[in-house]
Amino acid sequence: MEPIRRVAIVGAGNMGSGIAQKSAQEGFSVQMIDREEGYVERGINTIKEFLQEAIQRRIFSESQVEAIMANITGVVGADSIHLDTDLVIEAVFEDIEVKSSVLNVLSSSCDEKTIIATNTSSLSVQELSSLSDRPDRFIGLHFFYHPAKNRLVEIIPSSSTSEETIQSVTQYCRAMGKVVILCKDRPGFVVNRFFVPWLNEACRLLDEGLGTPAQIDSTARECFGIGMGPFELMNLTGPSIALHSSDYLSSQLETDRFRGADCLRKLVEDGGQWDLSEASDTTTSECYEKIKNRLLGVIFCVSSQIVEEEICSLEDVDRGAKVGLRWPIGPFEIANRMGVGTASRIASEYATTAGLEVPRILSDRGSKPFDFNLIDIEVENGVADITFNRPEAMNALNEQVVSQLRDIWDGLEADQNVHSAIFRGAGKAFVAGADIKFFVDKIEGGRIDQIRDFTEMGHAILNRIESSRINTIAVVSGLALGGGLELAMCCKHRIGVRGKTMLRFPETGIGIYPGLGGTQRSVMIAGVECARYSIIGGNWMDSTLSHSIGYLTNIVEFGELEEEIEKIVKGEVGAPGYCYEPRDPDNPLVSQILETYGEGWHDDLVVSPSSTGPFQERQVKLISRNAPISIEMASELIEIASNSRDEPTVGLKSELDGLERIFSTKDALIGLKGVLNGDRVRFFGE
């Protein structure tokens, strides 16, 4: 499989320019193409405006924006596409005839190896594929607006799309930090299949006089825990889009219930928007219940249809709602919270009203809650590919995730055919630590013993991964924080991606210490000084520094990732093991770390700070913000790691034994709640 490096986007409108911007941000060489110079210039200016806003918000620096823009070339005419382009994404108007004419031009202007993708939210990929001269290298993509910000993308193969094309395009999307849903080519795909009928059902409620737009929005916000109701959303995206999507879905599914409601049709004809100025309180409790149950009913029914038709998994339905629509929880999680029996009744009532069949996934389930797989696994030719797939929470570790990892590992170790295991994370993170809310809930509930139980379970599985006969590979292609970094450290190989990987132990800055072996394995891998730098200082470490320290065993470009993994699986790349010293002590930054965090570091940085230069000054500043008790306990644990090299279990047990003390401090609760609330906190050493 050849990695995608050069991309062309046909269509410089809002979607096309957004896809071009995101691709350029992630280092791809991009041509943005339209039929007239004015359209191309407008697309370029749109990108510049977004990036200027990013500078103002301190997301990018001026130099970073210059580098991004240098990756984009504006071009007139699809016949100007570079012959060495790997992927062309058609992102023109959502009309089959318009797309057909563009695809016809692309067939003659693209090299035969080039993959062609259509960006569509509703049109049949199978039908569009038949218009292409390369059905095996044709695929559907559904980027969500705004493509540079929204992390979800649906990938839709046709029946002719090759496996190699699917893998190449999936890798391209993942290189951009996208959360990928691979789904069947069915009308509406995944998210729009349930979201468009939900919007239309809100309009039907208005037609029936059950509430005003403001009242229906208010009920929807409360019921789904969302920031904007259906009418406010339609005002933002355009009522005409909602009408077009509703009519198209109704036609394709032959379901009259989904046809655009009368009030929506009239609003579009008049060119208006919904009036949300009226009072938002529901007039009676009866109206509230009817609005709530109808909006829930359509979601439960259609989401269940998606799963029954095997378009995607129930986990991906919920993922689509949380990542694509930014709902706090997805349809099946809502059903679990309210009780599956109640959800089934609401779905049945809606199905009767709408003239639909009640999906058996609900009607036959009784009251049994839905189970969610938070880790995906594929095993092929002795290689297990394990993906932490909880991107809406940056793949954070909680009891369910750790329990599922334990069960997966039991199965892999029992299978003697499995010789290698690859750990990955969906979205922009590998694993971003442990679930903070879990800790807060247990502290406030007086159940610190359950934090110990959870951590002990984590220790057990990480120790097994570390000592396993299986060749383990952590693909750290994004963020790895706290527990995620501790998980990676258990693996024999830890691959980082140049310019994308960032590692950090944030614990002492939130009132605790790394408790899943981090205080021990950081010393075992890189030595005491580097362990202090990363844990006591809580410093961010990019891919280059992480490799020089030793936390990463390999660093590659994203396009070289699969090739590097293959070499490791074949045994062509050796694992360094535990060296108790950094890989490259001569690296200038590592040299400063060794000097600053060597003997006497505590006096120089904590007791009586005295700056000897910018590096030490920064370390003093970082440490001064961290929790004193956390610093003290982490320091002690690091010393234990250094002094118990022949018996590393001593330090691991000490980590567990200190949990009750650290989680009983006021600073721990202050720090953890500060993370949840996004507050900057001050510690008191209590």
* Catalytically active residues, by annotation: 121, 142, 154, 192
> For residue 421, which phi and psi values (nearest 5 degrees)?
-135, 130
Tell me whether residue 444 is exposed, middle or buried, using C-beta atoms within 10 angstroms of its C-beta: 0 to 12, 13 to 18, 19 or more.
exposed
Q: How far is CA 675 from CA 439, 658, 686, in A?
A: 11, 22, 18
**Residue (of 2, 30, 249) closest to 121 by Cα position:** 249
For residue 422, what is the enclosing H or E element? Answer: strand 420-425
Q: How far is CA 569 from CA 386, 476, 491, 523, 641, in A?
A: 14, 16, 13, 27, 30
* Cα gap 499→544, rounded to integer Å: 8
* Cα gap 449→455, rounded to integer Å: 10
Q: In what order do the strands lie in the sheet with 138-143?
A: 72-76, 29-34, 6-10, 87-90, 115-119, 138-143, 152-157, 179-182
**Residue (of 431, 426, 448) closest to 439 by Cα position:** 448
**Alpha-carbon torsion, ordered 450, 453, 457, 460, to 10 deg:** 160
134 within 8 A of 87, measured Cβ to Cβ: no
Q: E strands of 102-235, at which residues?
A: 115-119, 138-143, 152-157, 179-182
CA 263 and chain centroid, separation:
37
Residues with Cβ within 8 Å of 551's Cβ and at least 6 positions away in sequence, in order, are 485, 488, 489, 494, 503, 522, 525, 526, 534, 541
* Cα gap 677→101, rounded to integer Å: 51
* Cα gap 7→352, rounded to integer Å: 48
For residue 267, what is the enclosing H or E element? Answer: helix 262-270
CA 244 and chain centroid, separation:
30
Greatest alpha-carbon pair distance for the chain in Å reads: 79
* Cα gap 401→487, rounded to integer Å: 12
Residues with Cβ within 8 Å of 636's Cβ and at least 6 positions away in sequence, in order, are 654
DSSP class of residue 500 equals T
Distance spanning both ends of the chain, measured CA to CA:
56
Which amino acid is residue 402, in one-letter code? V
* Cα gap 102→116, rounded to integer Å: 11
* Cα gap 115→92, rounded to integer Å: 17
Strand-strand pairing, 471-476 and 493-497: parallel
For residue 657, what is the enclosing H or E element? Answer: helix 649-657
